[in-house]
Amino acid sequence: MAANATTNTATGTATGTAAGAAPATSAPLDDGSAARWLYAYAANPEARVPGGELVEEVRAELHRRVSGRPAPPAELVRQAGDWAAAEGGRFRDLGDRADDDDRRVLVRRAVLGCAPLSLASGAWLQWLSAPGNADDALVLRILALYASDTGVGHPGASRGDAYLHLLRRLRLSENAVPLARLTGDPRIPDGAYTLPGLLLVMSRRPDDFRGELLGADLCLRTVGLPPPLTLVRQALPAIADWAVIDPSAARRDEDPSPAEECRTVVEELIAREGPRAEAAVGLGFSWALAALREQTDALYAELTAAFDPAYDMAELMRLRAREGSVYHHQFQLEGRPLADWLKESRTDPSGLLGALARSRLVKPGRSAASALVKGLVSERGPMFRVFSPDDLTIIGRWIDSLPPRSPGSAEQETAAARAVPAPRPPVAVARALSAGPRTEGRAPADLREAYHLLMVRTDTPALRRWSLDYVTGWLARSRYGMDHEPIPLPRSWGREGLRPWLQVQHDRHGAEFEENADVPLPSRDAVIDDTLQTAPLTLIDGSWLQGFTDHELASSDIGHALFQTYWDELGNGIAKLNHPLIYREVLKEMDIDLPPTASPEFARWPGFRDASFELPVYWLCIGRFPRTFQPEVLGLNLAMELSGVGGSYRRARLALQKYGFNTRFVDIHNTIDNVATGHSAWAADAVDTYLAGLPDSSGAGSRADAWERVRVGYRSLNPPGGAGARRAARRAIRGGRIDPLSLFSKRR
């Protein structure tokens, strides 16, 4: 269900969802699977959710579950805490009443029922930081909260990964990776996707739903471990890292409580923005609590019904009925073809269960002697491999529960099973998202306007296509003449990886610095001018990696290093370490006081030259496509992190020091970008990890093809600017929607 984009490696152009904002498939409009569809669509790192009607439908959906004006945050926190404590007790009591066999059933159902929310734990915070607000102290606190959820700096260390480990221990993870694939698991009820599906959709419109997202996050952290999982933790205390799965728990003893941190963030937001923000927070909190209550009640009813094996059996028949009804037209059961019974079972399996219980296929109370789980499914039987081992366990448990000659009990219990409540599906939201944006918007008129529009995560179809074209043209220009003009990266990637090459480059930078020791430093005016013209680039430090804040990418084997780099560029949540803020301090020493980076005034500031926006706009554009241009981003990141280490940063330090300016910005980069344990090393490792997992063959998708794209990305930090390169850019842009000559300076 998730829409992906692919790249034509010959031209660098992209197709699929990357090129437009409309979903690739139509949403279901009238059944419970609408929530599944929303979840799968919004889990895509390049998903784009339009504004307008969609935003209004989401708000209407939130209000449908919230009656009246929400209580103040402190009262909401109390209500959520009291509810969670009571519900946890209710589920633990349920586990206490179960015998060993029943408890195993309850554990599996509880874990599956909580999977959509827990696998995406914290994902709704993924886009709240953006290039335009990356120096905002409140945003940095939110980013710190999110970084804790992802286990920043370590692959597979997010809260969702801890839950995935739990699923794997219970052998329930067949459909859990990637996240969008989870919606294909028929064992998970539709209603389990409603709350996380809407949260993921809202996460793609962070400027519209910041208050609601933070309110919902505060609710979920106040509740802590979802109540159904308290039953699992009680039954299997050592099977999982419960402190990581619990969103209210700190990752380490010395870390602050995430619930308290979120509460502080909410208080700061309300203090800053007033009653409107308080109303949004209250709505998000109240809606999340109401949705969580509804989902939890449905799961409790399901677990209660599952005490009787007839419930599991009825669900199994319902799930298998569609495929099975195609066959079995000849086999008669009580005078009707089995195919007819199966068709009926798609909505009501009680009749089939009763007929099976009365048939010669079943010996009530004796599954080991029943043909339904013996001869029919044996290697010579007509239903070999139709049922999985788990399915056969369900069938056997149901047969063993049947009293001799008492088939009516199956029908009664199945009727009870059908009474399990289900949360209302968000059909209107799915319909609005499926319809796509009502307007195309307009493309930027020039680079300065593009820079301003790209300060936020959201876009319009026109801006998205423009961004894609800009990247496509830039990469084509970067590819031009590459075979004839050597670049530092070798022509082929070796299995030894890039670390040896990295050391050689570092030595070269050091040697060049020593060789240029006698070259006069630039004048004071030149230093100031260079610092100023670099501001549009440096004040969005890390923006080429913004796509790797996405929940799944941020903790992946490849992406965790890129997210940690992004996290470092923004100061690890601490304002005094934030690189854009440090750079502004240097500018102020030079008597340059620039407008806020996200403001229109910044982009139009007359002291900047137009050419100073070329590379920043490329960073901002490519950062929106972490999957479409993943190899190119990896190459660009390597070039960027290595560019100044050991050489140009040291020379810049001498120039700044000579004229009495603070050197902290270049000092910190020369240390954190180091080739042993810093950003340069992480960048090389990310490339190596990516390439090591690809086939050693030829053609699209091969290691050689990917390496060539990495090399293009590396060169894209400083591409050629001659007439031939500009013609290559023009040819690569599909349909000539923009003119590269108007975007790329002839002086380059």
Q: Is 596 exposed, middle or buried (0-12, 13-18, 19+ CB in 10 A)?
A: middle
**Confidence at residue 385, expressed as pLDDT on a 0 to 100 scale:** 65
**Confidence at residue 657, expressed as pLDDT on a 0 to 100 scale:** 94
Return the closest-CA partner of residue 664 out of 586, 591, 573: 586
Q: Is residue 104 very low, low, confident or very high in pLDDT (cuts 50, 70, 90)?
A: very high
Average confidence (pLDDT) over 580-589 = 97
**Confidence at residue 346, expressed as pLDDT on a 0 to 100 scale:** 87
Both tokens assigned to 744: 């790329």
Cα 59 from Cα 212, distance rounded (Å): 9
Do residues 229 and 94 make contact, with C-beta atoms less than 8 angstroms apart?
no
pLDDT tens by residue, 434-468:
999 989 999 999 999 999 999 999 999 999 999 99
Q: Is residue 736 very low, low, confident or very high in pLDDT (cuts 50, 70, 90)?
A: low
Both tokens assigned to 58: 């989401």
Cα 673 from Cα 582, distance rounded (Å): 16
Do residues 421 and 300 make contact, with C-beta atoms less than 8 angstroms apart?
no
Q: Is 162 exposed, middle or buried (0-12, 13-18, 19+ CB in 10 A)?
A: buried
The percent of residues in the chain predicted with pLDDT above 70, rounded, is 90
Which element (helix H / strand E) includes 410?
helix 408-418
Average confidence (pLDDT) over 181-194 = 94
> Largest Cα–Cα distance of the chain, in whole Å?
101
Average confidence (pLDDT) over 140-157 = 97
How are beta strands 5-8 and 13-16 bridged, if at all? antiparallel
**13 pLDDT above the threshold of 80:** no
Reduced to 3 states (helix: H, G, I; strand: E, B; else coil), residue 204 is coil
pTM over 0.85: yes
Average confidence (pLDDT) over 242-271 = 95
pLDDT tens by residue, 519-568:
899 999 999 999 999 999 999 999 999 999 999 999 999 999 999 999 99
Q: Is residue 581 very low, low, confident or very high in pLDDT (cuts 50, 70, 90)?
A: very high
* Per-residue H/E/C for 323-373: HHCCCCCCCEECCEEHHHHHHHHCCCCHHHHHHHHHCCCCCCCCHHHCHHH
- Main-chain dihedrals φ then ψ at residue 332, nearest 5 degrees: -100, 135
Q: Is the dihedral of CA 289, 290, 295, 297 positive or negative?
A: positive
**Confidence at residue 324, expressed as pLDDT on a 0 to 100 scale:** 76
Q: What is the dihedral of CA 104, 80, 63, 24, to 10 degrees?
A: -40
Q: What residues form DSSP beta bridges with 14?
A: 7
pLDDT tens by residue, 667-725:
998 888 888 889 999 999 999 999 999 999 888 889 999 999 999 999 999 999 889 99
DSSP output for 576-619:
GG-HHHHHHHHHHHTT--PPPTTSHHHHT-TTS-GGGGHHHHHH
**8 pLDDT above the threshold of 80:** no
Q: Is the dihedral of CA 57, 62, 63, 69 positive or negative?
A: negative
How are beta strands 332-333 and 5-8 bridged, if at all? unpaired
**Confidence at residue 747, expressed as pLDDT on a 0 to 100 scale:** 46
Query: Looking at 47-51, 211-215, 314-318, 643-647, which range is the least confident one?
Result: 643-647
Q: Is the dihedral of CA 492, 495, 499, 500 positive or negative?
A: negative
**150 pLDDT above the threshold of 60:** yes
Amino acid type, 622: I
**76 pLDDT above the threshold of 70:** yes
Both tokens assigned to 60: 């209407």
Measured in whole angstroms, the distance separating CA 414 from the mean position of its chain's CA atoms is 38
Q: Is residue 6 very low, low, confident or very high in pLDDT (cuts 50, 70, 90)?
A: very low
Query: Looking at 1-10, 56-65, 257-266, 656-665, which range is the least confident one?
Result: 1-10
